[in-house]
């Protein structure tokens, strides 16, 4: 393989209640009863930090997704949980998912500025536009906003949020006890923003935080999603099944950056991988088969139905995926729809086989093997321009994360691909990204 030069992996731990496999909660190595146990997540955070990972990440939605009858769904609101994790960790980044469709910029800017202060500069925001009709119905809507409209709203939302973070200059708090002046109000700015979706006066009621802005993360891979990422994102969580698909996405997204005045190194691309680890390849595959055998078809069909926008309930499991609509007619997650449809078509999978393939990663790559084989896969994607790092999705928790940290990370470290110690203080330091300049300060 080509040498990686001075580049180093970025590794993020994507945490879900019992793990990423949809049958993980039924496996004896998991603890589903701890889905709302703070100490459980503190233990996971300590494991990830022991491995020197860049960050940990919490997905989120504003509805109870899927069939809770058959999986451990629901749980903590992410910023609340990450604030608690900040108090018991020192280095690892803390990335929360927050929707731009069902929130307001002032609320979100305030929460992330607070998390960044609480954590000493370790906050990250996974920006999503929401993709589910159930979410819309929790906010007084009968239909979900149209896909491109959600992204238009998201662009203005992020623009307003960043201005709010800039509304306090670093030097605004002067704290002059003798004169009785706490803040130089000439360094605190109103926005006066009037746009298509928002009217926000400002300033924010939180002082500028250690990072200035949280790390901005994005996960959509549709055309709208990629263009949004090229303009705003600093890390991108994505899903590709093959090295060739990963290379295509990587080249495409990096090529879009120049028109926004950005360089390739300004955005880190982290494909998701669900690593099923065994001391031998046979044992890894046996573990994968154990998890597959615990799947509940009713749950898998419901999950698949949501991905492809077609109700599959009642169809024979040994039959093919039925005819699907065009991507342009999907108002949910367009990129995941296309990935699943192409996976079924490319590999000739029936519904039962497709459910099994999606059980561990919901469209992200699942790889079963030894620690050396997992490391080889990561190194290949990294050195062959398909990734700047990886979004690690343990199939089951807590053991799946511990196995990766204790067995795979040391191999990557010996190969010179991953840090052996934290060298920076903030999440931006971990990702090699600068602290943003204050745009409002520059205009006065």
* Per-chain mean pLDDT for the chain: 91
Q: How far is CA 48 from CA 45, 232, 393, in A?
A: 5, 27, 12
- Collapsing DSSP to helix, strand or coil, 297 comes out as helix
pLDDT category of residue 260 using cuts at 50, 70 and 90: very high
**Stretch 297-305: mean pLDDT, rounded?**
83
Is the pLDDT score of 1 beyond 50? no
257 CB-near residues (< 8 Å, 6+ apart): 230, 263, 264, 266, 267
Q: Quick one: pLDDT at residue 207?
A: 98
Query: How far is residue 206's CA from residue 117's CA, in Å, rounded to a whole number?
Result: 9
Q: How far is CA 195 from CA 160, 188, 251, in A?
A: 9, 21, 33
Q: How far is CA 339 from CA 82, 101, 259, 303, 387, in A?
A: 31, 24, 27, 14, 18
pLDDT digits (tens, 9 = 90+) for 82-94: 999 999 999 999 9
Is the pLDDT score of 335 beyond 70? no
**Stretch 399-406: mean pLDDT, rounded?**
98
What sign results for the dihedral spanned by CA atoms 199, 147, 57, 376? negative
pLDDT category of residue 331 using cuts at 50, 70 and 90: low
**Stretch 226-246: mean pLDDT, rounded?**
94
Among candidates 26, 69, 87, which has minimal Cα distance to 303? 69
Q: At what angle do helices 351-358 and 334-347 cross, to 10 degrees?
A: 130
pLDDT category of residue 329 using cuts at 50, 70 and 90: low
**Stretch 103-112: mean pLDDT, rounded?**
97
Picking from 205-219, 235-249, 302-316, 408-422, which range would have the lowest pLDDT averaged per residue? 302-316
Within a 13 Å sphere around the CA of 63, how many CA atoms are in the beta-carbon half?
Answer: 16
pLDDT category of residue 357 using cuts at 50, 70 and 90: confident
User: Which two three-digit tokens encode residue 224?
Assistant: 């709208």
Cis, bond preceding 203 (omega within 30 deg of 0): yes
pLDDT digits (tens, 9 = 90+) for 358-380: 887 777 899 999 999 999 999 99
**Stretch 282-303: mean pLDDT, rounded?**
90
Is the pLDDT score of 266 beyond 50? yes
Q: Are 5 and 383 in contact (CB under 8 A)?
A: no
Instruction: Provide DSSP, 3-34.
Output: --TT---EEEEEE-SS-SSTTGGGSTTB-GGG
pLDDT digits (tens, 9 = 90+) for 19-77: 999 999 999 999 999 999 999 999 999 999 999 999 999 999 888 877 888 889 999 99
pTM for the structure as a whole: 0.91
Q: Quick one: pLDDT at residue 433?
A: 97
pLDDT category of residue 110 using cuts at 50, 70 and 90: very high
Is the pLDDT score of 384 beyond 90? yes
Query: How far is residue 42's CA from residue 93's CA, in Å, rounded to a whole number?
Result: 13
């Amino acid at each position: 393989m080509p040498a990686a030069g001075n580049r180093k992996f970025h590794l993020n731990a994507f945490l879900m209640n019992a793990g990423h496999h949809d049958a993980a909660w039924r496996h004896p190595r998991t603890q589903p009863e701890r889905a709302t146990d703070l100490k459980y997540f503190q233990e996971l955070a300590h494991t990830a930090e022991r491995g020197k990972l860049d960050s940990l990440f919490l997905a989120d939605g504003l509805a109870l997704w899927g069939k809770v009858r058959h999986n451990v769904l629901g749980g903590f609101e992410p910023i609340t949980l990450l604030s608690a994790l900040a108090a018991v960790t020192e280095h690892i980044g803390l990335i929360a998912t927050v929707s731009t469709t069902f929130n307001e910029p002032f609320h979100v800017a305030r929460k992330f500025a607070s998390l960044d202060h609480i954590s000493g500069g370790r906050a990250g925001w996974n920006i999503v536009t929401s993709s589910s009709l159930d979410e819309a119905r929790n906010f007084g809507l009968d239909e979900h906003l149209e896909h491109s409209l959600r992204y238009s709203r998201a662009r203005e939302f992020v623009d307003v949020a960043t201005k709010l973070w800039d509304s306090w200059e670093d030097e605004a708090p002067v704290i002059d006890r003798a004169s009785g002046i706490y803040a130089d109000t000439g360094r605190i700015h109103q926005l006066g923003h009037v746009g298509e979706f928002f009217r926000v006066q400002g300033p924010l009621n939180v002082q500028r935080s250690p990072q200035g802005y949280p790390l901005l993360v994005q996960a959509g891979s549709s055309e709208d999603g990629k263009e949004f990422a090229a303009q705003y994102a600093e890390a991108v969580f994505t899903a590709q099944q093959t090295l060739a698909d990963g290379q295509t996405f990587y080249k495409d997204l990096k090529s879009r950056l120049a028109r926004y005045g950005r360089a390739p190194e300004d955005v880190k691309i982290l494909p998701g991988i669900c690593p099923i680890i065994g001391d031998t390849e046979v044992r890894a595959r046996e573990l994968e088969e154990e998890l597959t055998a615990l799947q509940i078809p009713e749950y898998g069909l419901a999950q698949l139905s949501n991905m492809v926008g077609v109700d599959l309930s009642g169809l024979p499991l040994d039959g093919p995926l039925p005819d699907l609509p065009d991507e342009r007619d999907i108002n949910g997650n367009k990129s995941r729809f296309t990935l699943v449809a192409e996976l079924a078509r490319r590999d000739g999978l029936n519904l039962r086989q497709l459910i099994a393939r999606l059980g561990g990663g919901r469209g992200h790559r699942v790889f079963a093997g030894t620690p050396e084989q997992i490391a080889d896969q990561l190194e290949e994607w990294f050195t062959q321009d398909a990734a700047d790092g990886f979004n690690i999705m343990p199939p089951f928790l807590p053991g799946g994360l511990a196995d990766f940290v204790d067995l795979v990370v040391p191999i990557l470290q010996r190969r010179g691909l991953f840090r052996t110690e934290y060298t920076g203080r903030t999440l931006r330091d971990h990702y090699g990204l600068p602290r943003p300049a204050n745009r409002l300060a520059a205009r006065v």
